[in-house]
Structure 1
Amino acid sequence: MSGQGTTQTGTLPFGRLDATADATAEPTAELTADATAELPWLEELQGRTVVVKFGGNAMVDPALHRTFAQDVVELWHAGLRPVVVHGGGPQISAMLDRLDLEVRFEAGLRVTTPETMDVVRMVLTGQVQRELVGALNAHGPFAVGMSGEDAHTMTAVRRPAWVDGRQVDIGLVGEVVAVEPGTVRTLLEEGRIPVISPVARGADGEVYNVNADLAASALAVALGAERLVVLTDVEGLYADWPRS
């Protein structure tokens, strides 16, 4: 992120903006002035990129889902350039259960077999992302869905887990090692809201399941985002993981 960039966790820290103009319209000086008068600090973020990670746990609440979409669109109306990276853990687990496939975690990471990876891609891009894009586009033609695979946006390498000091193979779980943000920047310049699922391809040709928090962080750095906001139901963060 840029030198002034910050990371925040918890509820969306931007408040309710009550944008009353047509949601399909470009941000106007009048609308932006109304928003910044209500929340003056927004003026500092006008024209700046903000990456928001929306967790799968939050997405299972329909009311919260709708409120999140409205908030993101209102940020756009206030002159910000939001980018959404979403998770989908509960939805993936539910689909695995329906298909009678094992649901297993090691060190907080999903053990991802090739069969599980097929489900991850299907659920993240075909279900969770489509629902989020639809919620955003209920307010106008804003959101465009894409995967970290698309246009080589994210490149990952296989990542093992460490459990009690020993390395554990967790399958097709990856760590982002490179980001090509050109496509995301193009969408932002076109006035769109990119909605990105955390799946990435490796140089080895494999497709990897990537932790959404880490994917959002890597993308925020590559975009020079002013802020990274992580929406989560987790009550706290480790300051020095895995040594804490």
Structure 2
Amino acid sequence: MLIVIALGGNALLKRGEPLTIVNQRVNTKVAIKSIAEIITAGHKVIITHGNGPQVGLLALQGASYKPDEAYPLDVLGAETEGMIGYLIEQELENVLPVGQQVAMLLTQIEVDSKDPAFDNPSKPVGPIYSKEEAESLASKCGWTVAADGENYRRVVPSPEPLVIPDIPVIELLLKNNIIVICAGGGGIPIVRQSDGLTVGVEAVIDKDKASALLAKKLGADMLLMLTDVDAVYKDWGTPKQKAIREITPTQISKMTFANGSMKPKVEAACDFVNSVSGKAGIGTLQVALRIIEGTAGTLIS
């Protein structure tokens, strides 16, 4: 099968863990072990990944230096896509047979400049703060902040991904049996101007939605979204919570899930399955191959 594997930010950096390269490399090694098992089982894979913590940290560093000269989010997205993609590429090459080629592609994704998301920032990025810290940073840097559980985080616009101009390049790489790492962090958000030229915009595209679009355009057999939760749960956080093992898009779309966590994954899964009649799996990194086999996680089909 051709499988698009979307690594969640929490799969690469555990909650509350310091955002050091050492920690990210350790977690990347764990992720690659699971991905290598999928490849060894005979599947072709395309890898995407989140970048919320990383892009938020770079933005914070830039604002601390000279807030009026801070790099825009599309540039920070490109930087994090290169950084995380490099770690994944290197660790993959270290465990795969000699001769198996891996390519990391900086991927632009087109959005609509009139998308209502630009007027309603909702995508959490960066570290968590106390209410006082968040309000101080919002005032100093001109950020929008919102509650994230008991803490606060910066939130930024998250427009819908529409077009992936790099699809022909990705298809060429796949045709030559090259493992592709692309659309990291949801891809680099761009808009097309009236003259036909493109330019980056201040936004972060949801990684799961971008991965679903990628899987649809490539005609993938499966979209596999890996996070730090073992499955999608019905009545999450209540005494009645129960893991969902297998379900249809129609059934799961009638349920309610939290914004910014499981909701985007469920929506991306339903979008992919309804579009190409493939399968979508959601679960933890450690049991990735079992999710594909239908013995772990949540399978939507």
Cα distance change, pair 74–188 in 1 and its aligned pair in 2 (3 A) = farther
User: Where in structure 2 are the equivalents of 1:98-109 lying within 5 Å?
Assistant: 98-100=61-63
The answer to whether 1:201 aligns with 2:185 is no
Question: More relative contact order in 1 or in 2 (CA 8 Å, sep 6+)?
Answer: 1
User: Where in structure 2 are the equivalents of 1:4-19 lying within 5 Å?
Assistant: none
Distance in 1 separating the partners of 2:9 and 2:121: 24
Query: Would you say the 8 A contact 2:32–2:92 is kept in 1?
Result: yes
The answer to whether 1:59 aligns with 2:22 is no
Aligned to 1:86: 49
SS at match of 1:161: helix
Distance in 2 separating the partners of 1:77 and 1:68: 14
The answer to whether 1:139 aligns with 2:139 is no
Unaligned stretches of 5+ residues in structure 2: 14-22, 65-69, 123-155, 234-251, 264-301
SS at match of 1:66: helix
Distance in 1 separating the partners of 2:111 and 2:92: 28
Cα distance, 1:203 vs structure 2: 1.7
SS at match of 1:94: helix
Aligned to 1:69: 32
Is the helix fraction higher in 1 or 2? 2
Q: Deviations over 1:84-105 (max 9, x none)?
A: 111111111222222236xxxx
Distance in 2 separating the partners of 1:202 and 1:172: 14
SS at match of 1:231: strand
State the number of aligned residues.
Answer: 178
Cα distance change, pair 185–54 in 1 and its aligned pair in 2 (3 A) = same
Aligned to 2:223: 228
Cα distance change, pair 77–190 in 1 and its aligned pair in 2 (3 A) = farther
SS at match of 1:79: coil
Query: Would you say the 8 A contact 1:147–1:200 is kept in 2?
Result: no
TM-score when normalising by structure 1: 0.61
Distance in 2 separating the partners of 1:135 and 1:96: 26
Residue 124 of structure 1 aligns with an amino acid whose one-letter code is E
SS at match of 2:228: coil
Unaligned stretches of 5+ residues in structure 1: 1-47, 102-112
Q: Deviations over 1:159-197 (max 9, x none)?
A: 3339xxxx5267764322123522222211212111012
Query: Would you say the 8 A contact 1:54–1:232 is kept in 2?
Result: yes
Distance in 2 separating the partners of 1:199 and 1:95: 15
Aligned to 2:112: 157
Distance in 2 separating the partners of 1:201 and 1:233: 30
SS at match of 1:98: helix
Cα distance, 1:114 vs structure 2: 6.3
Distance in 2 separating the partners of 1:63 and 1:99: 26
Aligned to 1:121: 78
Cα distance, 1:144 vs structure 2: 0.6
Cα distance, 1:221 vs structure 2: 0.8
Query: Would you say the 8 A contact 2:9–2:50 is kept in 1?
Result: yes
Distance in 1 separating the partners of 2:37 and 2:176: 17
Query: Would you say the 8 A contact 1:51–1:84 is kept in 2?
Result: yes
Residue 87 of structure 2 aligns with an amino acid whose one-letter code is E
Of 136, 150, 160, 1:175 maps to 160
Query: Would you say the 8 A contact 1:156–1:178 is kept in 2?
Result: yes
Aligned to 1:29: none
TM-score when normalising by structure 2: 0.51
Residue 168 of structure 1 aligns with an amino acid whose one-letter code is N
Of 74-83 and 176-185, the range deviating more from structure 2: 176-185
